[in-house]
Amino acid sequence: MPIYEYACQQCGHEFEALVRASTVPECPDCHSTELDKMLSVFATAASNVEATPMPASPCGSCGHPGGPGACALN
Ligand SMILES: [Zn+2]
């Protein structure tokens, strides 16, 4: 479930909100729905995960010269 950070255009209050598909976020102070969506902390973390290389392949595809199953992972 994504967490978004908003800044209220009415009162300037900044807050984070869990946003479901059917939910319109509103300011907890003035209940305005005139909000600026800011960069999501969740989205930033997710993009970092995607940039991380895949973990080591399971044995059998690791390229060990002894053949599939010959490496220390087995
Ligand atoms: Zn507000």
Residues 17-56 as b/e (b if ≥16 CB within 10 A, e otherwise) read: bebeeeeebbbeeeeeeebeeeeeeeeeeeeeeeeeeeee
3-state secondary structure at position 49 = helix
Q: Which residue has the higher pLDDT, 11 or 55?
A: 11
How far apart are the CA of 14 and the centre of ligand 1, in A?
A: 8
How far apart are the CA of 45 and the centre of ligand 1, in A?
A: 27
- Going by C-beta distance under 8 Å and a sequence separation of 6 or more, which residues neighbour residue 24? 33
Summarize the confidence of residues 1-22 as an average pLDDT: 89
Which pair of tokens denotes residue 29? 């102070």
What residues form DSSP beta bridges with 15? 6
How far apart are the CA of 26 and the centre of ligand 1, in A?
A: 8
Q: Each residue of 29-55: pLDDT tens digit? A: 999 999 999 865 555 555 555 555 666
pLDDT at 66 over 60: yes
Summarize the confidence of residues 15-34 as an average pLDDT: 90
Mean of the per-residue pLDDT values of the chain: 77
How far apart are the CA of 27 and the centre of ligand 1, in A?
A: 5
